[in-house]
């Protein structure tokens, strides 16, 4: 059962922002968490990115903070009242952007700070005063030490993606940050799993939390028929069309790993006569809404999308899901195929594995869903020789369009670096736009104990934990004298 935002009695500026976002009904986490946060209770929520959890915590927090809202230009009138901590800069940025949208008709200010970029613009924002501060732990400590961020008036803390923060090794940083905060506060913790470490963290920092669990992650519905086909990149499109035809599939989601691949595949399927729309991060809100409306109205058969663009879509049940690319992150496989076979209906999930890295990615999925995966061959109905069309240009286009949709530039940086070190099978093109590739890469869980590359770089540049390379450490004069003494 889903209920409408209008039942919540949100303050007018927040309700207006929500309406503008086009949300109609609440997602399960919103339905459960918003009333609890509005009532001022601590929350321990099991929910992942893509469930609508940002709105689930930020709307009630903004509503509660409205009593402090003021239009004064004095920074003192805008102390940090809500602190949202996230493990990575792309998540921090994503959450901060959403909070800005929800707060846009209020006088509540928000900003985001994360490592890997210059501290100065962040410092200027902090000095102006902000009610909501979104941050990654390492960079926040830098700002605390530089006295740019004062946290003694914080009333609300959100530990988002807490399991990943612990995986990355942020526990000591979190403990330090939490020690700066007033004891009297509301604390919300969100995590994909409730491991013993997460429970310990919650036990130390949450008071009588209400536990909210929206979906058990890492499980696939038994009503979904899952197939993995071994198919060359260049044959994936043909395989997809054949399966759609043979199975009489009326509508499907087709997942790809990159925005560029998404646009290309949608274009070529459209040219093949399939009614197709693309949904990816470069599409405007208006274009996305139109694509969705057309799909819902049955005017479009295939919705080709990236994981990020598909998150939060209120299309929950489609007859089939294709993984045109095996997702980089096994959990995304579970999310993707969770779109089919709902509520007892039968669904079909078809995944195409080509060579290279796919074997490892499939093994990751196997481990996560705890099911043996058999790779099946695709038996093509009509085995036409490839490149039959004589026109060289047409032939080139066909090859290019149907090729690997994971464009080199859209792959995670480490993967690209590894490819180029090995001599790489794929051409390495110069970026056409000065865009930070971090924001294009799909969600990736942290390796246990792995420090994000940007934080590692900052650490390497400075011997003092928590001080970024942008802050010059004070010279330790006494230590210098001491070292000059004979021991």
Residues 156 and 124: their CA atoms lie apart, in Å, by: 23
Binding-site member from 37, 42, 43, 49 for ligand AMP (CB under 6 A): 49
**Interface stretch with ligand AMP, choices 47-55, 147-155, 354-362, 373-381 (CB under 6 A):** 47-55
Segment contacting ligand AMP by CB under 6 A, of 252-260, 283-291, 306-314, 458-466: 306-314
Site for ligand AMP in 25-44 (CB under 6 A): 26-27, 30
Shortest distance, CB of residue 309 to ligand AMP, whole angstroms? 9
Minimum CB separation of residue 47 from ligand AMP in Å reads: 7
Q: Which of residues 308-327 bind ligand AMP (CB under 6 A)?
A: 311-312, 314
**Dihedral angle of Cα 317, 322, 327, 330, to the nearest 10 degrees:** 60
Q: Name the residue among 299, 240, 244, 248 with its Cα closest to residue 275.
A: 299
x-or-dash string of contact with ligand AMP, 109-128, rule CB under 6 A: --------------------
Nearer to ligand AMP, 143 or 259 (CB): 259
Q: What is the DSSP letter of 214?
A: -
Closest by Cα among 184, 26, 139 to 458: 139
466's tokens: 């928590």
Q: Which is nearer to ligand AMP, 141 or 337 (CB)?
A: 337
Binding region for ligand AMP (CB under 6 A) out of 49-57, 173-181, 353-361, 449-457:
49-57
Do 51 and 28 form a contact (C-beta atoms < 8 A)? yes
Q: Of 18-26, 187-195, 244-252, 425-433, which part binds ligand AMP (CB under 6 A)?
A: 18-26
Q: Which long-range contacts (CB under 8 A, 24 or more apart) does 49-53 make?
A: 49/91, 49/94, 49/161, 49/311, 49/443, 50/307, 50/311, 50/312, 50/335, 51/27, 51/214, 51/215, 51/312, 52/26, 52/27, 52/312, 53/29, 53/160, 53/190
Can you tell me the distance from the alpha carbon of 475 to that of 470, in angstroms, rounded to the nearest whole number? 15
Closest distance between ligand AMP and the C-beta of residue 407, in Å? 23
Element (H, E) at 238: helix 236-247
CB 401 within 8 A of CB 267: yes
Give whichever of 213 and 401 is closer to ligand AMP, judged by the CB atom: 213
Kindly state the smallest distance separating residue 106's Cβ from ligand AMP, in Å. Answer: 18
- Rounded to a whole number of angstroms, the minimum distance from the CB of residue 198 to ligand AMP is 18
Q: CA 410, CA 264: separation in Å to the nearest integer?
A: 13
User: How far apart (Å, rounded) are the C-alpha atoms in residues 190 and 49?
Assistant: 10
Residues numbered 174 to 213 that lie near ligand AMP (CB under 6 A) are: none
Q: Which is nearer to ligand AMP, 236 or 288 (CB)?
A: 288
Least distance from ligand AMP to the Cβ atom of residue 32, Å: 13
Q: Is 88 in the site for ligand AMP (CB under 6 A)?
A: no
Residue 484: strand, helix, or coil: helix
How many residues in the shown chain lie near ligand AMP by CB under 6 A?
Answer: 15
DSSP 406: S
Taking CB under 6 A as the rule, does residue 296 contact ligand AMP? no
What distance in Å separates the CA atoms of residue 291 and residue 300, rounded to the nearest whole number? Answer: 8
When asked if residue 54 is in the footprint of ligand AMP (CB under 6 A), the reply is yes
Nearest to 371 by CA among 193, 223, 192, 219: 219
- Residue-wise over 332-345: b if at least 16 C-beta within 10 A, else e? bbbbbbbbbbeeee
Rounded least distance, CB 193 to ligand AMP, Å: 16
Q: Which of 32, 51, 148, 251 binds ligand AMP (CB under 6 A)?
A: 51
Q: Give yes or no for residue 55 binding ligand AMP (CB under 6 A).
A: yes
CB closer to ligand AMP out of 78 and 336 = 336
Residue 175 vs 193, nearer CB to ligand AMP: 193
CA distance 25 to 7: 10
Tell me how far apart the alpha carbons of residues 433 and 439 are, in angstroms, rounded to a whole number: 13
- The residue among 254 and 308 lying less far from ligand AMP, judged by its C-beta, is 308
CB of 215 to ligand AMP, least distance (A): 12
50 binds ligand AMP (CB under 6 A): yes
- Quote the CA–CA distance of 485 and 487 in Å, as a whole number: 6
For the bound state, the minimum distance from the C-beta of residue 33 to ligand AMP, rounded and expressed in Å, comes to 11
If you write DSSP's letter for every residue of 177-201 in order, what string do you get? Answer: HHHTS-SSSEEEEEES---HHHHHH
Q: How far is the CB of 30 from ligand AMP (least distance, A)?
A: 6
How far apart are CB 19 and ligand AMP at their closest, in Å?
11
Smallest gap from residue 10 Cβ to ligand AMP (A): 12
| Residue nearer to ligand AMP on the CB measure, 170 or 190 | 190
Q: Which of 13, 45, 52, 338 binds ligand AMP (CB under 6 A)?
A: 52
- Residue positions counted in the chain: 487
Host H or E run for residue 461:
helix 453-461
Our CB check for ligand AMP shows the closer of 171 and 294 to be 294
Q: State the nearest-atom distance from the C-beta of 288 to ligand AMP, in Å.
A: 10
Q: For binding to ligand AMP (CB under 6 A), which residues are involved?
A: 21, 23, 26-27, 30, 49-55, 311-312, 314
């Amino acid at each position: 059962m889903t209920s409408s935002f209008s039942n919540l009695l949100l303050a007018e500026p927040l309700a207006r922002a929500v309406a503008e976002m086009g949300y109609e009904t609440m997602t399960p986490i919103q339905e459960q968490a918003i009333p609890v946060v509005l009532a001022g209770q601590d929350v321990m929520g099991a929910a992942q990115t893509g469930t609508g959890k940002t709105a689930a915590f930020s709307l009630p927090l903004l509503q509660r903070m409205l009593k402090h809202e003021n239009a004064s230009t004095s920074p003192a009138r805008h102390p940090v009242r809500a602190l949202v901590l996230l493990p990575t800069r792309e998540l921090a940025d994503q959450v901060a952007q959403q909070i800005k949208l929800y707060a846009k008709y209020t006088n509540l200010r928000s900003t985001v700070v994360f490592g890997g970029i210059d501290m100065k613009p962040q410092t200027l924002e902090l000095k102006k005063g902000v009610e909501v501060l979104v941050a990654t732990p390492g960079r926040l400590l830098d700002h605390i030490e530089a006295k740019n961020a004062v946290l003694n008036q914080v009333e609300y803390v959100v530990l988002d993606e807490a399991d990943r923060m612990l995986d990355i090794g942020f526990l000591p940083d979190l403990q330090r940050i939490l020690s700066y905060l007033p004891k009297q506060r509301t604390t919300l913790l969100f995590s994909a799993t409730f491991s013993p470490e997460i429970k310990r963290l919650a036990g130390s920092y949450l008071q009588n939390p209400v536990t909210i669990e929206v979906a058990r992650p890492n499980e696939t519905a038994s009503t979904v028929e899952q197939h993995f086909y071994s198919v060359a990149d260049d044959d994936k499109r043909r395989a997809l069309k054949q399966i759609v035809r043979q199975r009489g599939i009326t509508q499907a989601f087709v997942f790809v790993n990159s925005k560029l691949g998404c646009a290309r595949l949608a274009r070529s399927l459209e040219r093949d006569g399939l009614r197709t729309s693309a949904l990816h991060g470069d599409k405007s809100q208006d274009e996305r809404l139109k694509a969705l409306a057309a799909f819902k109205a049955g005017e479009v058969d295939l919705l080709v999308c990236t994981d990020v663009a598909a998150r939060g879509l209120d299309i929950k049940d489609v007859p089939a899901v294709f993984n045109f690319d095996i997702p980089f992150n096994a959990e995304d496989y579970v999310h993707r195929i969770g779109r089919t076979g709902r509520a007892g209906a039968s669904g079909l999930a078809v995944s195409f594995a080509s060579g290279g890295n796919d074997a490892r990615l499939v093994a990751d999925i196997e481990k996560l869903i705890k099911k043996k995966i058999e790779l099946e061959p695709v038996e093509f109905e009509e085995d036409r020789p490839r490149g039959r069309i004589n026109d060289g240009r047409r032939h080139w286009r066909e090859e290019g369009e149907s090729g690997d949709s994971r464009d080199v530039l859209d792959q995670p940086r480490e993967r690209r670096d590894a490819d180029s070190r090995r001599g790489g099978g794929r051409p390495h093109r110069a970026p056409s736009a000065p865009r930070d590739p971090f924001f294009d890469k799909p969600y990736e869980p942290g390796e246990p104990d792995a420090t994000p590359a940007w934080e590692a770089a900052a650490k390497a540049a400075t011997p003092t934990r928590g001080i970024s390379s942008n802050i010059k450490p004070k010279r330790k004069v006494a230590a210098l004298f001491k070292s000059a003494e004979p021991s």
